Amino acid sequence: MKITNIQTIEKIGAEVQLAGWIQSLRKMGKIVFIDLRDRSSLLQVVLVPSELDVDSQEQMKKLKPESVISVIGVVQARGEKQINPNLPTGSVEVLAKSLKIFSESLTPPFEIVNEDRQANEELRLKYRYLDLRHERMKNNIILRHKIVRFIREYFYNHDFLEIETPYISKSTPEGARDFLVPSRNFPGKFYALPQSPQQYKQLLMVAGMEKYFQIVRCFRDEDQRGDRQAEFTQLDVEMSFVTQEDILQLIEELFIQLVKNILPQKKFTSQPFVRLTYQQAMEQYGSDRPDLRQDKSDPDELAFVWVTDFPMFEYKSGDQRWGAAHHPFTAINPQDLEKLQDPKKMGEIKALQYDLVLNGYEIAGGSIRTHEANVLHRVFELLGHTNEEIQAKFGHLLEAFKYGVPPHGGIAAGLDRVVMVLANEPSIREVIAFPKTSDNRDPLMDSPSDVTLDQLDELGLSLKKRIN
Ligand code: ASP
């Protein structure tokens, strides 16, 4: 069984079996030095023909960067002058006795040794499996794994249930365009991929689950930006019988513990986190996601800010109508409940809604929810829905609320953004294993792609020719 490269530092004098990729080769006369790469580390392997069996000597002639090999050899301590302090295995090297090539590699389209993002995005995504071989990308994936693991443990320890909700579902009003999935059994009808599990998590509260969380994919058919992808991962949380304060404290503690455990070198600008109302944030910083770092050139400074008391409604000047600033399920601040009766006062109504901002990025948002069916109905009316539309779109939720609904609230954090900021990366694409391009393509799988006429037929669909 192979051991990992990093384990060799504790195996001086022992014969070991290793396997991995050839990061680089250096020939010095008849001797070849290999930087052997596995997930744990690089390791120097020395090939001296006279030490190798005959088969291995033949294999030695065919070595190329990025080929996958196995080596059996003896771990040796390096002489003091040969120690490489920049390498975790820099105190040892392995003198090979036998060598086997598992598979040869073509010359990669970009260098793996070079950590600069020297290849363009298209090429990096087309050959993502090679891009992920970069040390920096591997470290981002490992950091993400550690963060996800920490979050799960945190919520398990706080008595939450991890519950999955459907992906093939119905439109949810988070304000973005839906991805539609045609139904084969019901031609002409469509599922929508969820923009978030919002309604399901609220239904789980009606069901009595009390504390729910999920690390879940959400889908919004939006144009891409540096910190947005059409599909993204969210930490989704919902709790019954809670106040806004309970939720803020739970999430604040999560991030404090997460940073302390996983990235202890990072420093908080302020702890407890700064709190601003939406109005204060706008008046003092002209933004509802202010970057409050003291030194923006410091990669280890984390400025978390809670922004609270958002307006419930916002006027969408493009569409010339009022929309929900967050989503319609957000509870109205009790002081403003009466204003619901006067459409002229919509702009003054405050919601029990909060965002968490980190270094100028909105990393989480949530609210206490309206659990009174009549208030929720009124909100939908003010948003311009007719009674029929309310029944068709939200009837299931209003119906559920007639069977004993607990007061509840929750929050969702954008996992990709959290990892991006903690990894000091400029884009969430650097922390997602297989992201899409800025125009929503996957150059590796070549999607979106054509489908056959039979497939369309089965779905009862035909394509309208585009006339330009
Ligand atoms: N569903 C909301 C969102 O995805 C978060 C929440 O209110 O819990 O933004």
**Least-confidence region, from 188-192, 221-225, 441-445:** 221-225
pLDDT at 226 over 90: no
Please tell me the distance between residue 80's alpha carbon and the centre of ligand 1 in angstroms: 57
Please tell me the distance between residue 368's alpha carbon and the centre of ligand 1 in angstroms: 11
Q: What average pLDDT does the segment 359-383 reach?
A: 95
Looking at residue 169, its amino acid is: S
Q: What average pLDDT does the segment 410-436 reach?
A: 96
Domains and CATH numbers, the chain: 5-103 (2.40.50.140), 130-310+351-371+406-431 (3.30.930.10)
Cβ proximity of 5 and 38 under 8 Å: yes
What is the position in ligand 1's atom list of the atom closest to the CA of 236?
Answer: 8
Question: Residues lining ligand 1, judged by CB closer than 6 Å?
Answer: 174, 196, 198, 365-367, 410-412
Q: What average pLDDT does the segment 436-443 reach?
A: 92
Nearest of 240, 96, 105, 274 to residue 160 by alpha carbon: 240
**Least-confidence region, from 12-16, 209-213, 450-454:** 450-454
Q: What percent of the chain clears pLDDT 70, i.e. is strictly above it? A: 98
Q: Which of 169, 172, 174 to mutate to test the pocket of ligand 1 (most atoms within 8 A of CB)?
A: 174
Cβ proximity of 206 and 241 under 8 Å: no
Q: Which of 327, 368, 416 to mutate to test the pocket of ligand 1 (most atoms within 8 A of CB)?
A: 327
Cβ proximity of 5 and 34 under 8 Å: no
DSSP collapsed to 3 states, the chain = CCCCHHHHHHCCCCEEEEEEEEEEEEEECCEEEEEEECCCCEEEEEECHHHCCHHHHHHHCCCCCCCEEEEEEEEEECCHHHCCCCCCCCCEEEEEEEEEEEECCCCCCCCCCCCCCCCCHHHHHHCHHHHCCCHHHHHHHHHHHHHHHHHHHHHHHCCCEECCCCCCECCCCCCCCCEEEECCCCCCCEEEECCCCHHHHHHHHHCCCCEEEEEEEEECCCCCECCECCEEEEEEEEEECCCHHHHHHHHHHHHHHHHHHHCCCCEECCCCCEEEEHHHHHHHHCCCCCCCCCCCCCCCEECEEEEECCECEEEECCCCEEEECCCCCECECHHHHHHHHCHHHHHHCEECEEEEEECCEEEEEEEEECCCHHHHHHHHHHCCCCHHHHHHHHHHHHHHHHHCCCCEEEEEEEHHHHHHHHCCCCCHHHHCCCCCCCCCCECCCCECCCCCHHHHHHCCCCCCCCCC
The per-residue pLDDT for 375 is 94
What is the position in ligand 1's atom list of the atom closest to the CA of 237?
Answer: 8
Please tell me the distance between residue 19's alpha carbon and the centre of ligand 1 in angstroms: 45
Q: Which of 172, 216, 236 to mutate to test the pocket of ligand 1 (most atoms within 8 A of CB)?
A: 236
What is the position in ligand 1's atom list of the atom closest to the CA of 329?
Answer: 7
Please tell me the distance between residue 266's alpha carbon and the centre of ligand 1 in angstroms: 27
Q: What average pLDDT does the segment 218-224 reach?
A: 86
pLDDT in tens, 107-143: 999 999 877 777 899 999 999 999 999 999 999 999 9
Please tell me the distance between residue 326's alpha carbon and the centre of ligand 1 in angstroms: 8
pLDDT band at 39 (very low <50, low <70, confident <90, very high): very high
The per-residue pLDDT for 115 is 75
Please tell me the distance between residue 448's alpha carbon and the centre of ligand 1 in angstroms: 28
What is the position in ligand 1's atom list of the atom closest to the CA of 218?
Answer: 4
Ligand 1, atom 7: closest residue by C-alpha: 366
Please tell me the distance between residue 290's alpha carbon and the centre of ligand 1 in angstroms: 20
Cβ proximity of 20 and 67 under 8 Å: no
Nearest of 53, 50, 5, 9 to residue 32 by alpha carbon: 50
Maximum Cα–Cα distance for the chain, whole Å?
91
The per-residue pLDDT for 361 is 96
pLDDT band at 247 (very low <50, low <70, confident <90, very high): very high
Cβ proximity of 229 and 427 under 8 Å: no
CB-based contacts of 277: which residues, under 8 Å, 6+ apart?
Answer: 307, 308, 309
Please tell me the distance between residue 172's alpha carbon and the centre of ligand 1 in angstroms: 11
Q: To which residue do tokens 């991006």 refer?
A: 420
pLDDT at 392 over 90: no
pLDDT band at 468 (very low <50, low <70, confident <90, very high): very low
